[in-house]
Structure formats: structure tokens, C-alpha cells
Amino acid sequence: VGKGCIICKATSFKDGVALTSPYPLPSSCRLQRTNEYVEQGNRRMKDSLIREAKADNLSKDVIYEFQLIEERDRILNQKPRNWNDLEANGFTIGLTNQDIGLLSDFEDPDVSLADRKALLEENGEMICEMYLKLIGKVSNLAVKKYFLARVDKILSEDIGCAKIFNTCKDPYGPFLKIFRVPPSTAQRENEMMAMFVCRILSKLFPALEKWYLQSMQETKQGTLKLQQTIDQPLNDFIMKLTELSRGKNSLIPLKALKDTLKQERAHEPFIRDSGVKMLASLLQPGETQEQVMYLVGFCVWILSFNVKMLRQIDLSDAEEKTSGLVKNLVTVVRQVQREKVIRICFASFRNMLMSEELKGRMVGLGLLDIIKTLNQTEDKELKEDTKKVQDSLKKFLGQLR
């Protein structure tokens, strides 16, 4: 049931049909309702991100995701100066007349979400190639930032578009170049652009399908192409995420890392770049925001499904004399009260039960004693994981005696 359509005066809606009339709603009515639902969804998501950020106390030095979304919407509502002149001249990078026509249609302020979707369905690869060319070659940073905001918006509205970008000739290079933009007086602007790139690439790499990657390895030429066009850009991105996650603006890079690690090809470069030590260093109760610890725990949980990575976690912890990933995870569940942080830690512990070495570490660090002191919870998943970890470690301890 809706509030009533300003066009056809219908007062009730269900699946785009006015219940007070036997006829379907006019397309403009359906479009209005669709746009309303999208905006409502965006507002709910932003409200959720704001609540999440405030739970950790906002810091003026940190770029939060809700702030980046607000900045994106502000940018897209106000085109850079001289837009018409730049557009008419192909933004001085040699856009074809067909490109300019598509860009004009897609960037029309009156175009609807449904119309943009239709344009992408009809000319998706051309549109994606056009934005990649613009981001890679336009020198004006304000215009470049506008196009980054647009691509971020496209992927946020339809993650399926990531597959279209992935079919382009060089889908990652133009974005990775943003990380190499020389520092300027507008440091905040550079950081904003880097955060957009984190969000964009963390949607593109996980969208690479396993069958496609495997098919490329069937020939020598395909393997070489895989290394040059996918593996190397992925390695570069992982290295940059690891670097950014160590800085003050770690929230968005860590979330991007969490999403990128869903692509199993990202695991080995992450380990090579001392990723386990980086994650361990961010698990510092009292010093690290709880949302950061949650994202770190999520990264560990994803890695812990990979048996090879469990071995690497054990080797990395063996080199540490005073700390280590497992030790710091145990410290977190001992000292932190926030349930979602404890839940992701125990989900990781449960996967670590596949490794006898890590079982030994958990027992030696006193995890069984900590489990006895945990507050009772109504969370079903946390209950199951805690019980599973407790039973398995008790059995392991009994075998040692």
C-alpha cells in the first residue's frame, strides 16, 4: 500500500499495479515508485553506516563510508565547470561522436535509473570502455573525480555491471593510476579519489568468475595474458590496500580488502606482502576502533577457509615472539564486549580447527578458559561456533594428556 500516485491518483500499489484500477500503472508511475524504493534503500544503507561509525566515535581525520557516499552524490548532482565545452571537445582525449552521444545520454540529469539500466543493457561494454578511457586520460582532477563517482554509483546500483567492466581491454589500469596521482595541496581530495578506487576495484576483482580464470590457464598464451592483465593488477591492488589499511583512513581500505579476498587469487599476494602481520597489528583492544577489529576479523575469517592460508598464519605467528594473529584474536575476545566482533573471531577460530598447529596455539593461549567467562548470548551462530571450538579444543587437550 502506497501514499498515492501524483499522476494517476491510485492509492494502493502491489508489484507496480494500482489495486484501485484494473489497468497497469503508466510507465512514469512505475518509474517514480522504482526511484522511490531505490532512494529509500540508499537512505537505509546510509543510516546504517552512520550508526556503525558513531558506535566507534567519529574521528575528523577518518573518511567514513557514509561520508564518501554523501560526497559521491554531491559530485554527481553538480557537474564540473565547463562541462559542456569539455564534452563537445571529447574531453580533449579524442572521444568519438558515438562516445560523446552515449555520454550525453547517460549523464543527462533528467535520465532515470531505469533508462540508465536500459542503456547499459544495450551498450554496456561501450559505456564501460568510455568511462575507463575518461578516468585514465582526463587530466583535470575535478572531472576525473566526477567519473570515479559515476562508476562507483553504477556498481553500487547494479553489481552485475562489474562483469561488463571485466570484459574491457584494460579494466584495472586506469583506476590503479589514481593511487599514483602526485600529492597536492588538496590532500583530502586525493584521499577521496583513492577511497573511490578502493570501493570500485573491490567490486571488480571478486566478480571474476572461476571458470573464466581456469579457462585462461589452458594455453600458454592465455596464462601469460592472465598474469599480465589480471594477476599483476590484483597484486598491485592488494599491496596498496595493505599499505592503506595501516594508515589513519583504514576503514574503507579494510572493507575493500575484505571484499577482494573473496577472490581466492588474492590470498597469495596478500600473504607475500606480510598481510597476516598487518592484520595482527590492527587487533589492539583499547587502541583500535571496534569496527576496524571487526573488519580485520572478517578478513581472517575469509582467509581461514583456505587450508594453505592456515599454514601461513601458523608460520607467521611462529616468527612473532610477543604477538601474533591468533594471540591477538584471543586477546580481542577476552577484552572486547561488542558481540559482532566476538562472533567473527569465533567464526575464524572454528575454521582454524582444521589446523592441528593452530589448535595448539588456541589451547596454549587459554581460549578454553576465556570461553567459560563469556557472557551468555542469544546469537545462534555464536553459540554454535563457541560450542564447536570448546568441544574440539577439549578433545585436543585430552589427546595431549
353 with 389: CB under 8 angstroms? yes
Q: Report the percent of the chain where pLDDT is more than 90.
A: 62
pLDDT at 394: 95
Q: Which residue has the cell 567459560?
A: 372
pTM of the model: 0.83
pLDDT of residue 153: 96
Helices (H), 246-287: 251-260, 267-272, 275-281
Q: What is the model's pLDDT at position 42?
A: 53
Secondary structure E strands in 128-239: none
| pLDDT given for residue 56 in this prediction | 55
Q: What is the pLDDT of residue 17?
A: 37
> In the predicted model, is pLDDT for residue 345 greater than 90?
yes
- Is the pLDDT higher at 58 or at 231? 231
Q: For 234-238, what is the mean pLDDT?
A: 97
Question: pLDDT tier at 280 (50, 70, 90 boundaries)?
Answer: very high
Q: What is the pLDDT confidence band of residue 121, given thresholds at 50, 70 and 90?
A: very high
Name residue 85's amino acid: D
pLDDT at 260 over 70: yes
User: Quick one: pLDDT band at residue 83, thresholds 50, 70, 90?
Assistant: confident
Spatial distance between the Cα atoms of 71 and 40, rounded to a whole number of angstroms? 18
Run of H or E residues at 13:
strand 13-14
- d(Cα 90, Cα 93) in Å, to the nearest integer? 6
Share of the chain above pLDDT 70, in %: 84
Predicted pLDDT of residue 338: 92
**pLDDT number for residue 19:** 37
Query: Which pLDDT value is given to residue 118?
Result: 93
d(CA 154, CA 353): 40
Note the pLDDT of residue 43: 57
For the cut 70, the answer to whether the pLDDT of residue 147 exceeds it is yes
Locate the DSSP E strands across 241-353.
none
Give yes or no for residue 23 having a pLDDT over 80.
Answer: no
Residue 211 has pLDDT above 90, yes or no: no
Residue located via cell numbers 582532477: 141
Three cell numbers, residue 275: 598481510
Residue 11 or 113, more confident: 113
How high is the pLDDT of residue 81? 82
Asked whether the beta carbons of 379 and 338 are under 8 A apart, the reply is: no
**In angstroms, rounded to a whole number, what is the distance separating the alpha carbons of residues 297 and 303?**
10
Q: Check residue 60 and give its pLDDT.
A: 59
* Phi, psi of 25, deg, nearest 5: -65, 145
Name beta bridge partners: 13: 18
What is the band of 184 on the pLDDT scale with cuts at 50, 70, 90? low
Among residues 199, 299, 287, the alpha carbon closest in space to that of 258 is found at 299
Would you say residue 301 has pLDDT above 80? yes
User: So what's the pLDDT on residue 107?
Assistant: 93
| pLDDT recorded at residue 182 | 72
Question: Does position 185 have pLDDT exceeding 60, yes or no?
Answer: no
**Do the Cβ atoms of 120 and 49 come closer than 8 Å?**
no
Cα-based distances in Å from 292 to 19, 54, 63, 281, 285: 48, 13, 13, 11, 10
Is the pLDDT at 14 greater than 50? The verdict is: no
pLDDT score recorded for residue 57:
57
Can you say whether the dihedral through the CA atoms of 362, 367, 369, 372 is positive or negative?
negative
Read off φ and ψ for residue 13, nearest 5 degrees. Answer: -135, 145
Q: Are 35 and 112 within 8 A, CB to CB?
A: yes
pLDDT at position 68 is 93
3-state helix, strand, coil in the chain (%, to 5): 70, 0, 30
User: Mind listing the pLDDT tens digit for each residue in 123-135?
Assistant: 999 999 999 999 9
